[in-house]
Amino acid sequence: MVVLLGAALIFGCAKTKGKTQTEKPGEAVAANVQKVKLDIEGMTCSGCAFGVETALKKVDGVKQAGASFDEKSAEVEFDPEVAKVDQLVEAVSKAGFKAKAANLN
């Protein structure tokens, strides 16, 4: 047990070849992550919210996306060097809904 703990401390348990364990393979850590809230029109159920989330997560540069049927919105964390708000809105549109940016952080 002591040997394993010592090895973890020496080699680092949270990093693998310079990448954190939460990163996707081949993806570097974004130095700048932006958040945007999108107002979504056309969602009629929680399945619609799932479809919006799925469409947003497919956009390169999106780190995290969550949609709420009750709030008629989606919140997205993305790398602004890779993805643009227009691309997020377009992805939602292709999924069959209408979106517009409510705010940027």
CATH number at 71 reads 3.30.70.100
Tell me what the mean pLDDT of segment 5-31 comes to.
41
As for how many domains the chain has, the answer is: 1
Q: Are residues 76 and 36 in contact, defined by beta-carbon separation less than 8 angstroms?
A: yes
Query: Mean pLDDT score of the chain, rounded to an integer?
Result: 78
Find the domain containing 69 and state its range: 44-105
Residues 43-90 pLDDT 10s: 999 999 999 999 999 999 999 999 999 999 999 999 999 999 999 999
pLDDT of residue 5: 35
Other CB atoms closer than 10 Å to residue 61's CB: what's the count? 19
Pairing between β-strand 19-20 and β-strand 15-16 as defined by DSSP bridges: antiparallel
Tell me what the mean pLDDT of segment 26-31 comes to.
51
pLDDT band of 4, cuts 50, 70, 90:
very low
| Residue 15: Cβ-neighbour burial (10 angstroms; 0-12, 13-18, 19+) | exposed
